[in-house]
Structure 1
Amino acid sequence: MRIGLYPGTFDPITLGHTDIIERAARLVDRLVIGVAINRDKGPLFSLDERVAMVRQECSAITGCEIVVHPFENLLIDCARDVGATVIIRGLRAVADFEYEFQMVGMNRAMDSSIETVFLMADARRQAIASKLVKEIARLGGDVSRFVPAAVGDALKSRLT
């Protein structure tokens, strides 16, 4: 069984994330969505809220078994914990690549048996970033083109 891990903070999950999840689900038998606790980022939503949002948005995605798994340890350790042989990462722009390139090098140094696969963001989704979505919502803008409807409602409720 091929197990993939798609990690992120998902604060909140966006249509860019769901695009990568849908495409990754066609590549593996089980896709683990690793929701990072990452207290350093100061998330808007609690871990439980982010996990619930990811579960809700992934419930209709087909192609493989999808499991949502919160984690606070190193990404490579999380991959080992869930039995992943591949880490799936989304790329939006060159700036993403530079950071991801360093991460791959460090992860391979810690465990060369776990591969990293990059999926390019769909052209319609390349500009979407959770940080920008939160800023737009905070300033009263319409985020409906960037996040699922339920996530947009949660943002509006949280920020008003």
Structure 2
Amino acid sequence: MKKTALYPGSFDPITKGHIDIIRRSADLFDKLIIGIFKNSSKSKSWFTEEERAEMIKKILEKENIKAEIKIFNGLLVDFMFKENVDILIRGLRALSDYEYELQFALTNSALAKNDFETVFLTASREYLYLSSSLVKEIALNEGELGIFVPKLVEEELRKKVKEIKHNR
């Protein structure tokens, strides 16, 4: 029986840590969907959903990773039902992530219209501390980004920082 997995996130921007989870997930499941969602609890996004999808698409092609990219809003469990998702992928960096992700998984399970499993993948050691928020802060302060994001994302971040500083 084929298993469809979903790795949801805002990916604003996508980092090497996200790519590591995507690569490993693509190897584990028959089909992987990367779900880009609008998260109203997070601060304003730097990139539109379409810009994020395009960056991810280019990275997947370059890395030869097989996955679909879909943009969605609303409840995650509704999107999972619509897409016939069997497995929800969540990345863990630290103990604090586990507490949040466990709450997230239990809530989704209670709301779900179909059965699914949540699989937690721990971040690789070199990405345990990495977050999109941290990457944006480094970009704003013109720090070294190449160790955190692919070249394509670094270039887009540099452009975005110029826009932000120009509009201040």
**TM-score (ref. length: structure 1):** 0.94
Conserved 8 A contact 1:6-1:32: yes
Matched residue of 1:134: which SS?
helix
Conserved 8 A contact 1:10-1:50: yes
Counterpart residue type for residue 97 of structure 1: Y
Deviation at 1:62, TM superposition (A): 4.7
Q: Does the C-alpha gap of structure 1 residues 7 and 107 become closer, same or farther in structure 2, counting only changes over 3 Å?
A: same
- 1:51 corresponds in structure 2 to 53
Work out the percentage of aligned pairs sharing the same amino acid.
Answer: 40
- 2:9 corresponds in structure 1 to 8
What is the alpha-carbon distance in structure 2 between the residues aligned to residue 6 and residue 150 of structure 1?
Answer: 21
- 1:92 corresponds in structure 2 to 93
How many pairs align?
159
What is the alpha-carbon distance in structure 2 between the residues aligned to residue 39 and residue 101 of structure 1?
Answer: 20
**TM-score (ref. length: structure 2):** 0.90
- Which of 92-101 and 31-40 deviates more? 31-40
What is the alpha-carbon distance in structure 1 between the residues aligned to residue 74 and residue 63 of structure 2?
Answer: 27
Counterpart residue type for residue 30 of structure 2: D
What is the alpha-carbon distance in structure 1 between the residues aligned to residue 47 and residue 84 of structure 2?
Answer: 28
User: Runs of 5+ in structure 2 lacking a partner?
Assistant: 163-168
- 1:34 corresponds in structure 2 to 35
Counterpart residue type for residue 44 of structure 1: W
Counterpart residue type for residue 97 of structure 2: D
- 1:108 corresponds in structure 2 to 109
Q: Does the C-alpha gap of structure 1 residues 144 and 31 become closer, same or farther in structure 2, counting only changes over 3 Å?
A: same
What is the alpha-carbon distance in structure 1 between the residues aligned to residue 111 and residue 6 of structure 2?
Answer: 16
Deviations 1:106-159 (A, max 9, x none): 111122611100000000111110000000000111111000000000000110
The root-mean-square deviation of aligned C-alpha atoms, in Å, is 1.3
Q: Does the C-alpha gap of structure 1 residues 110 and 39 become closer, same or farther in structure 2, counting only changes over 3 Å?
A: closer
